[in-house]
A and B are shown apart, each in its own frame.
Chain A
Amino acid sequence: MINNNSPKRRVYVFYILGILLSATVLTVDIFSDKSVSTYLNNKLSVLSPTPLVSSNFRFPEIEIFKSKSKLINENIRLKNEVIELRKLKVENEKLKIENEANKFVVKEVDSSIYDIFESSIIFKTLTNQYIISGGENLNLSEKDLVINDNSYVVGVISQVRQDRSIVSTILNPSFSIEGIDKYGNEYLITSDSKNLYVSSTNIKEENTDIKYIYTDITFGHPGQFPIIDLSSTSINIANNKITAEQEINFNINYFSNIYLLKTK
């Protein structure tokens, strides 16, 4: 006979109580429009230190006893200078590369209309989303765009925290974004992490000569930025619907150059 008061059964009850407690907090958070989680995020940020992407590594200072002869001192001073010069060289090369990348983006994006912020990947979450640097401190908001070096859209901000944001990239299997082509046809672009699937939602003109599909201000995005280039992809028109499929040639890692866009 099963004993209703067996210790194991009681543990199940505690777990169910835990679920009820979490469900209560969840309900409060839903009805307060995430103010509880946002508040805790701001207050407890010490529990999730944001690691610096650029290393601040410094070579240890070389100290030597003052009693050593002048020659040795001079030698050390020169060595230190060489080290400093090497550091400067490395830093200079890094800045050059960064500058080149930034120049490219600035050329592609009209910087008189948009603010461009360089960002970096901090964490990858369990759901294949990415946490990037920059949040409320940069005035970012949901649906702001994340672009790559070529100013193609590679992600959309799904949530903004104080100094970081959560981004859903095109590598996320649940990624979807609305876009528009030059004829005014509207599309829904989805991803399965390997391919992007384009499917029209509102057609004004049936035409396969669609080069780019852009984001648009009507979908809540900052402006028109290319999401996908269909010039070398076969486009199908059937049953008053335009569809296409394209492989994703984008990869993201710690060292990827990504940029955040914000209308001025």
Chain B
Amino acid sequence: MTYLKNLILTFATFFLIFTETRVNTFLTNNVYFEFYPFLVYLFHVSTNYFSRSSVLIIVLNGFYYDIFYTSNFLGETSIKFLFICIVTHFISTKLSTNIFNNFLLFFICLLLYKYELVVADISMSLFYFLVICLPNFLLFRALNSNLRRDVFSAKI
């Protein structure tokens, strides 16, 4: 059952990556809006569900991304994804939980996620990614409160 669950989760996250690239291609002309469902998933895993069962799923997703959507060598994106999870989880354990810290952490996560572009042009990146970060963070908040097991405790 666990294997089946992980298999389904792996394919579901493949679909997230597929959707992400597909939607962002449609949004190419809109500079200040990009949609990162897989980043939301990574952030969710790092902050709420940091477990060993996620490792293989993230590694396979990195492989999937490298095989179909980049000119990288196989494994580069997996390392990036795992590194993001470790860093995000480490910082989240050190910070107190409030919305500002959460947003800051999500922003750091986004910068790591798009580090290739940040490195290429650091001057324009910070504001640009801050604008992109906001709707994706709101998406994370919306999903996070809906995914809580105790729905009655969800804050609106």
Interface residues of A (CB under 8 A from B): 8, 10-12, 14-19, 21-26, 28-30, 34, 36-37, 40-41, 44, 47-48, 51, 121-131, 158-159, 166, 173-174, 192-193, 251-254
B71 lies within 8 A of chain A by Cβ? yes
Tell me whether B120 and A173 are in contact (CB under 8 A): yes
Q: Which residue of A11, A26, A125 is within 8 Å of B70 (Cβ)?
A: A125
Q: List 14 A-B contacts (CB under 8 A).
A: A11-B50, A11-B52, A12-B86, A26-B73, A34-B74, A37-B73, A48-B68, A51-B22, A124-B28, A127-B70, A128-B117, A131-B69, A173-B121, A192-B121
B146 lies within 8 A of chain A by Cβ? no
Considering the complex, give the chain B residue whose CB is closest to the CB of A13: B52
Q: Which residue of B25, B52, B79 is within 8 Å of A122 (Cβ)?
A: B25
Q: A15 with B82: in contact, given A25-B75, A51-B22, A131-B69 (CB under 8 Å)? A: yes
Q: A22 with B78: in contact, given A125-B21, A174-B116, A251-B29 (CB under 8 Å)? A: yes
Tell me whether B18 and A124 are in contact (CB under 8 A): no
Q: Mark B49-93, 1 if CB is under 8 A from A, else 0.
A: 011100110110011111111110111101100110110000001
- Contact residue range for chain B? 35 or more
B48 lies within 8 A of chain A by Cβ? no
Closest approach, in angstroms, between the C-beta of A120 and any C-beta of chain B? Answer: 11
Give bound CA distance, A122 to B24, whole Å. 11
B26 lies within 8 A of chain A by Cβ? yes
For A12, A21, A22, A159, the residue with the greatest tally of chain B CB atoms inside 10 Å of its CB is A22
Q: Which residue of A40, A159, A254 is within 8 Å of B74 (Cβ)?
A: A40
Give bound CA distance, A14 to B56, whole Å. 9
B43 lies within 8 A of chain A by Cβ? no
Tell me whether B67 and A40 are in contact (CB under 8 A): yes
Considering the complex, give the chain B residue whose CB is closest to the CB of A30: B73
CB neighbours of B22 from chain A (8 A) = 51, 123
CB neighbours of B78 from chain A (8 A) = 18-19, 21-22, 25
CB neighbours of B70 from chain A (8 A) = 125-127, 129, 166
Closest A-B pairs by Cβ, 6 of them: A26-B75, A159-B71, A22-B78, A173-B120, A14-B52, A22-B75
B106 lies within 8 A of chain A by Cβ? no
- Chain B, 130-154, CB within 8 A of any chain A CB: none
Q: A126 with B52: in contact, given A22-B75, A253-B28 (CB under 8 Å)? A: no
Q: Mark B10-38, 1 if CB is under 8 A from A, else 0.
A: 00001000100110111011000000000
Closest approach, in angstroms, between the C-beta of A225 and any C-beta of chain B? Answer: 22
Tell me whether B71 and A193 are in contact (CB under 8 A): no
CB neighbours of A40 from chain B (8 A) = 63, 67, 74
Closest approach, in angstroms, between the C-beta of B80 and any C-beta of chain A? Answer: 9
Q: A47 with B64: in contact, given A11-B50, A126-B116 (CB under 8 Å)? A: yes
Closest approach, in angstroms, between the C-beta of A261 and any C-beta of chain B? Answer: 19
Give bound CA distance, A173 to B73, whole Å. 20
Considering the complex, give the chain A residue whose CB is closest to the CB of B65: A126
B103 lies within 8 A of chain A by Cβ? no
Q: A22-B76, A192-B121 are in contact. List 16 more A-B contacts (CB 8 A).
A: A8-B50, A15-B55, A18-B55, A19-B79, A22-B63, A25-B78, A26-B76, A26-B79, A29-B75, A37-B66, A40-B63, A121-B28, A124-B28, A127-B70, A130-B25, A252-B28
